[in-house]
Amino acid sequence: MSSIFFYLIIGILIFEYLLERMLAYLNSTYWRDDLPSELSGIYEVEKYKKSMAYEKDKHKFSFIVSTLTFIAMMVVLLPGGFAWLDFIVRKYTENPILLTLLYFGILGLVSSILSIPFELYHIFIIEEKFGFNRTTPRTFILDKIKELFLGIIIGGGLISLVVFIYQSTGNYFWIIVWAVIAVFMIFMTMFYSNLIVPLFNKQKPLEPGPLRNAIEAFSSKIGFKLANIYVIDGSKRSGKANAYFTGIGMKKRIVLYDTLISDHTNEELVAVLAHEIGHYKKKHTSLSIILSLLQNALMLFILSLFIRKNSSLSQSLCQAMSGFSGIPVKQSFQIGILAFGMLYSPLSLVLGLFMNMLSRANEYAADRYAGIHYDPESLKEALKKLSVNNLSNLRPHPANVFFYYSHPTLLQRLNALAKLKRQ
């Protein structure tokens, strides 16, 4: 059975690579040198040409990264590199927790080091070329150090706890692990902006003035208690703008990028916030958390079937990672997790498609809320500016939208808002 798992993993990796490249190719078939009529009034000719150049550079870079990643995976997988690493780590310890931490720590460190040249090229060549990059080498290095620190503390802590639960509770470990993940997710939803964001960015309350007055007036009008309105220094790393809603209950807050404030009128900013408030009013945040927890429960249950202790299925799954080398592989938690992750990816893809469909529907609903309770024209102008300033591809292939987009396209959103009348 191990050979079946091995060839199945190879087939899945090949399928995912070909699917990614096919979707990228389909997207390229929608490129135009001249300004499409449907984008007239949104993009100016020169700005559109710049967006197409940006899209083409990202396309070429994506091809190189995904191809090299695929080749690297095959180079490691086929001769049993993952099994070989397990064999080496076992020379130093047989403690299940230390073994797992060392195994994934080495994989994570190597992966992070190999990805650095590509990140540098993307940030300091592509993003710099099109005027987006604000990241300094010092900021980049500090970010990497902080990410490593968080990975060790949070990632290492969670892995240690999961292995301990697995070793202590047997085949029903997934229920306890699911409960731990649920608590962690809810905790991070509530406190992410308080604990993690300050390590990378400065946040400060929106100062009193016309913008804050307009936001508070709108919030009062719709009966939405909003005490926490923050501005984040997004310009520290990029010229791109954004806004997001985070937290639940008393910990809810709206965060505006400083780049967003500098590029939009107060009416447009209130419209963007009305959209974010619409997500909260429609309970999209709560629904997203519930669905994520259900997905995690499904994944952990299936995982528990594959890595049961002393089962032939689990042993076959682990042995599959020896590739063509034939290296004997002991049944282990870390190898089982790694192999299962590759086998699970097709189901993850299907679930991701469903979540994207739901997310797009939620975006329409939040747009409608903002259009009805505030002003559809202001939201339309804000969405246009965001897209143009970020050099967004406004004519993606429908297949790309179906597979990758969590938001409807700009034209779809504008057409939906055009049907609304201000309340």
The rounded distance, in Å, linking the Cα atoms of 355 and 337 is 24
20, 55, 367, 375: the catalytic one is: 367
DSSP states of 11-40: HHHHHHHHHHHHHHHHHHTT--SSPPGGGB
Q: How far is CA 376 from CA 193, 364, 365, in A?
A: 29, 12, 13
The single-letter code of the amino acid at 362 is N
- Residues with Cβ < 8 Å from 374, sequence gap 6 or more? 218, 270, 271, 274, 422
Q: What is the dihedral of CA 144, 149, 150, 155, to 10 degrees?
A: 110
Q: Which of 256, 288, 264 is nearest to 382 (CA)?
A: 264
367 in catalytic set: yes
143 in catalytic set: no
Name the token pair of 51.
Answer: 């967006």
CB 189 within 8 A of CB 246: yes
- To which H or E segment does residue 182 belong? helix 173-195
SS3 107: helix
127, 276, 363, 375: the catalytic one is: 276
Residues paired with 40 in a beta bridge: 43
- Residues with Cβ < 8 Å from 142, sequence gap 6 or more? none
CB 71 within 8 A of CB 77: no
Burial of 393 (0-12, 13-18, 19+ CB in 10 A): buried
The rounded distance, in Å, linking the Cα atoms of 71 and 63 is 12
- Residues tagged active-site: 276, 367
